[in-house]
Amino acid sequence: MSDSWKLTLPCTRAEAEILKDDITPLAALDPVPVLMTSEIDATKPDEWRLDVYFEEEPSADTVAMTRRLVPSAARSKPVVEKLDEQDWVTISQQDLEPIREGRFFVYTPQHADAVPEGAIAFEIDASRAFGTGQHETTAGCLAMIDRLKSAGRRYRDIADIGTGTGLLAFGARALWPRARIIASDVDPLAIEIAQENAAINAIPLGAGPGQLELVIAAGLVHRRLRARAPYDLLIANILAKPLIDLAPAFAHATREGGSMVLAGLLSHQADAVASAYRRQRFRLAERIDRDVWTILRLEKRRRVRRHRPASRA
C-alpha cells in the first residue's frame, strides 16, 4: 500500500454513463488512473460525482484534462486530496458489484467467491481501465447475444469492434465455442488489457476456431479484419456517430442474413443509427432499452435473385 491522490468533480448522469466505458484521454497516462462515478442524491437523479484515483499527485495539465471530460463542471473547483496509506485500487473497486446478464456473470477479483454454479463467468479487473460490464451498453450487449443463443442462432465468424476489455468477444466465444473470433480497438492500451484479461479467463489467442485474435485498428481498417470478412455476427459497442459513419463498411463486412449488435448510443440516437443501416439493407430485428441507452440488433436482408425464364428454341 502507498499514498495516492483523488480528484473529485461534479458531473451529470449522462457524463457519468459515458465515462464508465471511455476514459480517453486519461487512458494515455502512465499509470492509468481509476475512475469512479456515483449518484450524489437519489432525489436529484441528474447530479452525479466523478472521483479519479491517481498513484501520484495530478499535475495542473491532468486536472485540466479531467475537467474537459465533464463539461458541466467547467465552473466548479476541482477537489484534490491526498489519501494516506490506502490500497486505492481495492477501495475504488469495492462498489463494483458483479453483473448477471442471462447466463453471464462478470465480476472483479474482490467477488471471486460469489460466482454462481453454472454461470458463464468472467473476471475483469477494473484497476487499469473502467469496463467490467457495469455500463448499461456492455451489459445490454451481453443480454442481446445471450438472447441470440437462446433463439438457436449459430455463428462461425464473429467480429467485436471496439472491444475494450475484451468482454464481449469472450462472451461470444463462450456461446459459440467453435467460432473464429476477431476483436479490435483503436486504443493499444485496450488491446493490452484485453490480452491480460484473456489470460486471466483462459481464452486462447489465435486465428483458428475457438480462438480469439486481437488487433489494433480504427473501425475495419486492418488487413486481418478485411481478410476474415464477411462476418455472420458483428458486434460494435462504440458511439452513435462512428456507428453511422461506419455503416457502409460494416454492411460490406457482414454476410447476407448475418446479425449485427450495435451499442454505445443514447436512446434518442437509436432511430438515426437504425436508419443509416436500413439504407444498407439491414432491418431492425430487436432493441433493448437500458435507462438512457439503447442496444440494437439488426439483420442483413438477403438479395432477391430473380431467375430469367429459359428461352424457347
CATH 3.30.70 fits 2-93, yes or no: yes
Task: Please choose, from the candidates 118, 128, 124, the residue with its C-alpha nearest in 3D space to the C-alpha of residue 99.
Answer: 124
Quick one: 160 exposed, middle or buried, by C-beta within 10 A (0-12, 13-18, 19+)?
buried
Q: Would you state the pLDDT for residue 129?
A: 41
Question: Across the strands, what pairs with 263?
Answer: 237
Domain boundaries in the chain?
2-93, 154-300
Residue type, 114: A
57 with 80: CB under 8 angstroms? yes
Q: Would you state the pLDDT for residue 239?
A: 85
Q: Would you state the pLDDT for residue 39?
A: 79
Q: How far apart are CA 163 and CA 237, in angstroms?
A: 7
Which residue numbers belong to the known binding site? 138, 162, 185, 237
Q: Would you state the pLDDT for residue 60?
A: 93
Would you say the pTM of this structure is higher than 0.75? Answer: no
Q: Would you state the pLDDT for residue 291?
A: 78
Greatest Cα pair distance in the chain: 94
Give the β-pairing of 293-300 and 254-266.
antiparallel
Reading the chain (313 residues) residue by residue, the pLDDT tens digits are 456 889 999 999 888 878 765 666 776 777 778 778 887 876 787 899 998 888 889 999 999 999 999 999 999 999 999 876 555 555 555 556 788 999 999 998 888 898 999 999 999 876 544 344 446 788 999 999 999 999 999 999 999 999 989 999 999 999 999 999 999 998 888 899 999 999 999 999 999 999 999 999 999 999 999 999 999 999 999 889 999 999 999 999 999 999 999 998 888 999 999 999 999 999 999 999 987 789 999 999 988 766 666 555 5
Length of the chain: 313
Task: Please choose, from the candidates 249, 160, 175, 143, the residue with its C-alpha nearest in 3D space to the C-alpha of residue 212.
Answer: 160
- Residue 188 burial (CB count, 10 A): 11
Task: Please choose, from the candidates 235, 76, 73, 250, the residue with its C-alpha nearest in 3D space to the C-alpha of residue 164.
Answer: 235
Which residue numbers belong to the known binding site for S-adenosyl-L-methionine? 138, 162, 185, 237
Q: Would you state the pLDDT for residue 40?
A: 81
Q: How far apart are CA 11 and CA 160, in angstroms?
A: 30
Q: How far apart are CA 269 and CA 267, in angstroms?
A: 5
Taking each continuous run of H as one helix and of E as one strand, the counts in the chain are 10, 14
Query: Do 2-93 and 154-300 agree at the fold level?
Result: no
CATH C-level class of 154-300: alpha beta
Give the β-pairing of 79-86 and 99-101.
unpaired
Q: How far apart are CA 227 and CA 88, in angstroms?
A: 43
Peptide linkage before 71 cis (omega within 30 of 0): no
Q: Would you state the pLDDT for residue 23?
A: 64
